[in-house]
Amino acid sequence: MRQRPRPCSQQDKLLPRGAQGLPEYDRGACPDHLVTRRQLRAREVSPGGYGPVAILRCAQCRTRPWRSCTHRTRAYLYDLRLARPKRVPTLPQEWALDRAMAARQTCGTCRRRYFHCLPLKTLGSCLECFDGTPADPATYIAPPATHLLAA
């Protein structure tokens, strides 16, 4: 059974209002551009590299404006105007995809990477390496300069 949030009490650490150096707002009296982590997630945005800019006060402390507490209904607020869309897919996923594509597009003989997939399963290399059919230079990226890697 889900526990109802208990009202703030002696168990919650009492704080003077503003103790964390951030403005504190009450539910319903909070500027529209300030949202909680959960609301950011619901909008599929991230804090954009910025930390919280304000605090949403505990609902019970609303009637005691002179103090705050660490009750769990207290939440950090983030500025929606600083939020950024989440990257989809993430960078590591893009790299993994690119590695998979590179394996299918790179000739093992001449190390050129083509913009199309190669018949590696049947020929084992690009057409030029297989039977001398010259490859259009616009269809591949020159192989990495090996002397630079060796240095």
Residues in the site for Zn ion, rule: CB under 5 A?
8, 58, 60-61, 69, 71, 107, 109-110, 125-126, 129
CB 86 within 8 A of CB 45: yes
For residue 12, give both structure tokens. 């919650």
135, 125 in Cβ contact below 8 A?
no
**What does the CA dihedral 39, 42, 47, 52 come to, rounded to 10 degrees?**
20
Nearest 10 degrees: CA dihedral of 63, 64, 68, 72? -30
**What's the min distance (Å) between Cβ of 29 and Zn ion?**
15
- What's the min distance (Å) between Cβ of 40 and Zn ion? 23
- Minimum distance, C-beta of residue 22 to Zn ion, in the bound complex (Å): 16
Residue 46 or 128 with smaller CB distance to Zn ion: 128
β-partners of residue 2 are none
User: Which one, 8 or 56, has the nearer CB to Zn ion?
Assistant: 8
Tell me whether residue 53 or residue 129 sits nearer to Zn ion (CB atom). 129
Pick left, alpha or beta for residue 47 (phi over 0 → left; psi -120 to 50 → alpha; otherwise beta).
alpha
Q: By C-beta, is 46 or 60 nearer to Zn ion?
A: 60
Least separation in angstroms between residue 147's CB and Zn ion is: 19
